[in-house]
């Protein structure tokens, strides 16, 4: 396996242009974010923030200032509502497990959509072993939650509802305020959580206006460092820790805080929000250029998810008929374009995306899908290069398979 990877890496030598669009799975970190983090590794604030010495006090100050920034961008009431975690997966686990731990001996209904991230779906399914009932609300062909089905599903037995503000694969912007209102009307005591990782820094997001009790955000999806995220927990909403250990500044996540990553998360947030409208407009232009360029130059393609304002400004998810997604990612990689496929999206198994199947895509359409996300630092030249490489890659692979589309 190692030798195969080395051969693939050798094949990439000498690339003149590289465009990384796989922000769904990881991200590069811009220089200004790296520079903001560096002093906290070795020059200052390298102490434990709970200890009474200068490096500890510096760390405490850096963490609190970072939390204050992120709280402001989220529209929180106070910085105490921001709880740092090692990432989106951990925050989603904390939200669902932390809420249900308080319900010992009291079981109820958990309501989610069919297209939630796996860190929500798998946790919800696990909770069925402990007596909870899980109901997955269907979505339409663009990924929007069926609100009538939601109204029929939520009742006095509903204890928790979790719906993403923006879908991580197809960019559908859910009417999360309306979803939260439906849940609260049926049961005011139900806790409403949203994974807002693909909304933070992409669409206007004020957690108090959204009406949610908890919200997950992630650093790397705004070009911050990997390994850090946060869970907003509304003041007055009680959840329990899911891990035990030394408690520092983060009462819901024990252990010594990773000050450099927290500072990097705050710096990435600052970079996004200091020119929020300009950044969003830039991403939207690149998104539309990429979608239009693909549909104009490549036959037999389908856009997955909605168009225009109903879609996140960074998201491009296309199905290329008669083309296998994993093969296309490799072909593009050899030409310096890095994307992810709608197949093999879980546990490295070659299986179609549950999101694409839920919106009605056939297996072959899901297997032939490619997910690309643009960022504030991508350029017109980057998109031009993708549109130069992608049609050739698709044509080559279709020529190899020689198959026809079955409608």
212-235: per-residue pLDDT in tens? 999 999 999 999 999 999 999 999
| Structure confidence at residue 68 (pLDDT) | 98
Strands 340-341 and 369-373: antiparallel
Q: Which CATH number fits domain 2-21+276-401: 3.90.1150.10, 3.40.50.300, 3.40.50.1400, 3.40.20.10?
A: 3.90.1150.10
- 65 and 291 in contact (C-beta within 8 Å)? no
Of the pLDDT bands very low, low, confident and very high (cuts 50, 70, 90), residue 51 is confident
* Residue 289, pLDDT above cutoff 60: yes
* Model confidence pLDDT, tens digit, residues 93-109: 999 999 998 776 678 99
* Every domain of the chain and the residues it spans: 2-21+276-401, 32-273
Strands 191-195 and 158-162: parallel
Of the pLDDT bands very low, low, confident and very high (cuts 50, 70, 90), residue 352 is confident
- Pick from 31, 33, 386: nearest CA to 201: 33
Mean pLDDT for 83-91 is 97
- 184 and 41 in contact (C-beta within 8 Å)? no
Q: Do domains 2-21+276-401 and 32-273 have the same CATH topology?
A: no
* Residue 280, pLDDT above cutoff 90: yes
Q: Does 3.40.470.10 match the CATH number of domain 32-273?
A: no
Is 323 among the catalytic positions? no
* CB-based burial label for 50 (10 Å; 0-12, 13-18, 19+): middle
- Pick from 291, 297, 232, 279: nearest CA to 94: 232
Q: What ranges in 102-220 are assigned the alpha helix state H?
A: 118-127, 147-153, 176-186, 207-210
Q: What is the pTM of this model?
A: 0.93
* Model confidence pLDDT, tens digit, residues 339-350: 999 754 444 556
* Model confidence pLDDT, tens digit, residues 15-35: 889 999 999 999 999 999 999
| Structure confidence at residue 350 (pLDDT) | 65
- 135 and 110 in contact (C-beta within 8 Å)? yes
Set 180, 345, 366, 374: catalytic member: 345
| Structure confidence at residue 35 (pLDDT) | 97
* Residue 403, pLDDT above cutoff 70: no
| Structure confidence at residue 140 (pLDDT) | 98
Mean pLDDT for 192-220 is 98
| Structure confidence at residue 357 (pLDDT) | 96
């Amino acid at each position: 396996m190692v030798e195969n990877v080395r051969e693939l890496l050798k094949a990439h030598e000498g690339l003149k242009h590289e465009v990384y669009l796989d922000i769904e799975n990881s991200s590069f970190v811009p220089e200004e974010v790296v520079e903001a983090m560096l002093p906290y590794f070795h020059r200052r604030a390298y102490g434990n923030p709970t200890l009474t010495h200068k490096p500890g006090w510096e760390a405490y100050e850096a963490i609190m200032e970072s939390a204050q920034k992120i709280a402001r961008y989220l529209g929180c009431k106070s910085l105490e509502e921001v709880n740092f975690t090692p990432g989106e997966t951990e925050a989603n686990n904390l939200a669902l497990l932390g809420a249900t731990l308080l319900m010992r001996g009291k079981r109820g209904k958990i309501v989610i959509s069919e297209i939630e991230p796996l860190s929500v779906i798998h946790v919800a399914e696990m909770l069925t072993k402990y007596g909870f009932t899980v109901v997955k609300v269907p979505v339409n062909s663009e990924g929007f939650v069926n609100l009538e089905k939601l109204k029929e599903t939520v009742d006095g037995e509903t204890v928790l509802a979790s719906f993403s503000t923006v879908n991580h694969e197809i960019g559908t912007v859910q009417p999360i305020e309306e979803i939260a209102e439906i849940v609260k009307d049926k049961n005011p005591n139900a806790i409403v959580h949203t994974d807002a990782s693909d909304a933070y820094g992409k669409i206007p997001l004020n957690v108090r206006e959204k009406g949610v009790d908890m919200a997950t955000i992630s650093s790397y999806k705004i070009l911050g460092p990997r390994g850090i995220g946060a869970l907003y927990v509304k003041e007055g909403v009680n959840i329990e820790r899911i891990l035990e250990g030394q408690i520092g500044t983060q009462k819901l996540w024990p252990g010594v805080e990773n000050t450099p990553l927290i500072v990097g998360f705050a710096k990435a947030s600052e970079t996004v929000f200091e020119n929020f409208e300009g950044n969003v407009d830039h991403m939207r232009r690149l998104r539309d250029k990429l979608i239009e360029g693909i549909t104009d130059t490549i036959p037999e393609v389908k856009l997955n998810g909605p168009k225009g304002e109903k879609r996140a400004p960074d998201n491009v998810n296309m199905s290329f008929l008669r083309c296998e997604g994993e093969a296309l990612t490799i072909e593009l990689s050899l030409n310096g374009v890095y994307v992810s496929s709608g197949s093999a999206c879980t546990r490295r198994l070659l299986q179609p995306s549950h999101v694409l199947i839920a919106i009605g895509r056939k297996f072959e359409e899901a297997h032939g899908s490619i997910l690309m996300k643009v960022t504030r630092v991508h350029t017109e030249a980057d998109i031009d290069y993708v549109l130069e490489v992608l049609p050739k890659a698709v044509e080559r692979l279709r020529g190899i398979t020689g198959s026809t589309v079955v409608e």
